[in-house]
Amino acid sequence: MRNQNSKIEGFDNPELETLDPELIYEMDSQELLDELLKSRVSAMQDEGSHVEALLDMAVRCEQEGPDAKAEALIEWVFRLRTGRP
């Protein structure tokens, strides 16, 4: 089932949706495959830049350290685990 869902997701592509439906029906299988592959490569490049942006944000957050509320929460959890009031 999971493999089928991943195959279906490959066809649920906004770039293919922008093509004229009549044009899609006129394409042969190789042309459709080429369009799908072009859109997948573009999506993977977008995903790579998104992952890099998330990684940059994570590094900045790690460098800043926890804020006061996070520190208080960590302390509260520690006290609960050790049984101190």
State pLDDT tens for residues 16-34: 556 677 777 788 888 888 8
Q: Which residues lie closer than 8 Å to 85 by C-beta, 6 or more apart?
A: 79
Predicted local distance difference test score (pLDDT) of residue 9: 47
Q: pTM for this structure?
A: 0.38
- The torsion angles phi and psi of 20, rounded to 5 degrees, stand at -65, 125
Q: Which residues lie closer than 8 Å to 40 by C-beta, 6 or more apart?
A: 10, 13
Confidence of residue 8 (pLDDT cuts 50, 70, 90): very low
Q: Which residue has the tokens 């992952």?
A: 51
- What's the domain range around 9? 2-82
Counting the structural domains of the chain, the total is: 1
